[in-house]
Every structure is written in structure tokens, then in C-alpha cells.
Amino acid sequence: MWRRQAWEVIVGLVRALIAGIACACVLLGCGRTPPEARLRETIDASQQYLATRDAASLSDVVAEDFVGPDGMDCAGLRRMAQAAFLRYRAIGVNLGPMQVDMADGGRHATVRFTAALTGGDGALLPESARLYAVESGWREGDGGAWELTSLRWEGTK
């Protein structure tokens, strides 16, 4: 009799343990942010880095093997951003809706959007404003951080 009761207790404990492990697996699976959401967060952060003139953080997002227009490399993009920071005290960046195309199981992406860039001395109205059509290439690194691998832009009218 006591053996049967002990066996029922053991079976109950094993069932509870299995249910707990299953719940933990479900919760852990739900807790990981999907690649596209993390990419969008990286783009939002990059937009903020430009607006706050944070060249160091902006450089951290750009891949070492970055390729831009006319063979621009990572250092060239950094110099271009620094020149804009020197020219304008205030930089505004407003992005339109993003079209995100994920590839390679979520490890690579192409993102297209329009960007309105403004620059000025901090007065109410900017001195300069342009609208661009932008296409960017991204790669997810081993640590899960997204890196900008390519960038093309064209002024729109």
C-alpha cells in the first residue's frame, strides 16, 4: 500500500517537473526578441546617434567591411558623419516607413526607407533639408548585434 502511494507521489513529482521544464522552455522561447525587431531597434538607435552627434556609437553599428557609394568604406562613412557634425550644430533625422526584407534565416536583411535630413545652427528652422531614398544592407553578428554592411542613397525631388 505504501509503495503504491510512494509511486504515485514520484509520478506526480516527475509530471510537475516535466510541466515546469516545458513552461520554462516556452517562456524562454517567447522572451527572445525576433531578428527583425532587433534590427528595427538598431536602426532607431542609429537615428538617435545621428541626432545626438554620437560618432562613437554610430561607428559601433557600422561593419568593418562596410561598402557605400563610390567605394566608400567604414572610415569614409565615419569621416562623412564627422564633417556633418562639424558643419551643423543640430542634425535632424526623420525616417519614413521601413520595408524590411529578411534573408538567410534572419541573419541578413535589406532595409529600404525614405529619410528626411535637416541641419542647422539649432534655430527653429533648419538651414538645410533634403529627402533621400535609402537602401541599407545589414548582417547579424555572432553576439546578435546588427551591423550595417552597405548603404546607398539618392536624393529625391
pLDDT of residue 1: 55
Strand pairing class (62-67; 90-95): unpaired
> 63 with 77: CB under 8 angstroms?
no
Positions of the chain with pLDDT under 70: 1-31, 123-125
| 58 burial type by CB count under 10 A (0-12 exposed, 13-18 middle, 19+ buried) | buried
Q: pLDDT, tens digit, for every residue of 89-129?
A: 888 889 999 999 999 988 999 999 999 988 887 766 677 88
Grid coordinates standing for 5?
A: 502511494
Give me the pLDDT at residue 70, please: 93
What confidence score (pLDDT) does residue 71 get? 92
